[in-house]
Amino acid sequence: MRYIYLVMALLLLGGCGGQKRVVVATEEKLPSWYTNPPKSNATDLYALGEGKNQKEAVAEALTAMVATLSVSVSSSFRANKVVREGRINSVDATYKSDVASEVKKIHISNYEVLHAKSLGFKRYAVVVKSNKRKLFVSMKKELDQKFSSIDAQERTLLHSDALKLLHFYRVELASLKSMENTLLVMSSLNERFDADEYIRKMQILSSKYQTLSQNITFSFQANSAGKNLIAPLSKGLSQKHFTIKKSRGKYHFTIFVNATIQKANAYGFTLARAEIKVITKDYRGNIIGSNVLNITGQSSQGYAIAKQSIIIKLNALIQKEGIDKVLGLTI
């Protein structure tokens, strides 16, 4: 009898343990700095950002910080309220930004993350702060270092070939593309800031690039098999705004085209297998670029059409890869 009572007690305890507990989740409150983020003032800038992780949220906050400055740049923000259904019914303020790429390139290195929190649903939010005076000083320092680096590199390249110097100017001007917007931001941070000095430096670089580009010339020399290949190469250079003509001097370059073409047949097609060697030399005869191209033309209408196919394929290769890669040059 005692055994029966013991078994019944165990069964009752087991039945009670098997019941599922009902857990009532309390509603998670959003932090006050998120629902009511701090406002920028005369000395400090604040910005709220969201993302899938803290890094992405900080990037969005910095973009918002730049866009909210009183600067005439192309930017717009749309604040959408998104109601998420789930364990917690919450309203997240999601900021979707359409900011011009030039604005995003403005670099803010002087900032601190005041608040950071995971909001759930794979969302992360932060508030970043930047002191206006410190931000201005850091942006000016970066600009000064940039132009000092350009000056130093330019001095080392003055005795290089004209194409290398042209490439240098093109890359540096591209890196300074967002400088105008940076200067506008700096002017809004410091009303006494004079941006003319930096604008003049950029104009000088642009002038040097244009002068060099207008004076550089190319000409061709080819063997008999390579003569028909000059046209697509010349077209590719012209599309880069280079002048094709015979000339002399330090701004002139000669491209040597040496081609060998072999005839073959396969599956009813006539093939023209070409090995094309291109070598570019400066006015002193120094090789500054070279490449070997293997192109096979084919036709069901004879060898002449197959050779013509080589020209068509070379032109397509130039359009796809770029004339600089085909010639083995950096321009």
d(CA 65, CA 53): 18
d(CA 133, CA 57): 24
CATH 1.10.1040.10 fits 217-327, yes or no: no
What's the pLDDT score for residue 65? 85
Cβ–Cβ under 8 Å, residues 163 and 331: yes
Q: Which pLDDT belongs to residue 122? A: 79
CA distances from 102 to 105, 126, 139, 179 (A): 5, 23, 16, 9
Q: Where are the beta strands (DSSP E) in 5-43?
A: none
**Which 3-state string (H, E, C) describes 112-174?**
EEEEEEEEECCEEEEEEEEEHHHHHHHHHHHHHHHHHHHHHHHHHHCCCCHHHHHHHHHHHHH
Q: How many CB atoms lie within 10 A of CB 209?
A: 18
Structure confidence at residue 80 (pLDDT)? 34
Per-residue pLDDT of the chain (331 residues; tens, 9 = 90+): 555 555 455 555 555 555 555 555 555 688 999 999 999 888 999 999 999 998 899 889 988 887 777 543 333 333 333 333 333 333 333 333 333 344 445 667 788 999 999 988 778 999 999 999 998 999 999 999 999 999 999 999 988 999 999 999 999 999 998 888 888 888 888 889 999 999 999 999 999 999 999 999 999 999 999 999 999 999 999 999 999 999 999 999 999 999 999 999 988 899 999 999 999 999 999 999 999 999 999 999 999 999 999 999 999 999 999 999 999 998 8
Q: Is 296 exposed, middle or buried (0-12, 13-18, 19+ CB in 10 A)?
A: middle
Distance in angstroms (rounded) separating the CA atoms of residues 159 and 163: 11
Question: What integer pLDDT is reported at residue 8 of this predicted model?
Answer: 56
Instruction: Report pTM.
Output: 0.71
Domain positions in the chain = 32-131, 134-214, 217-327
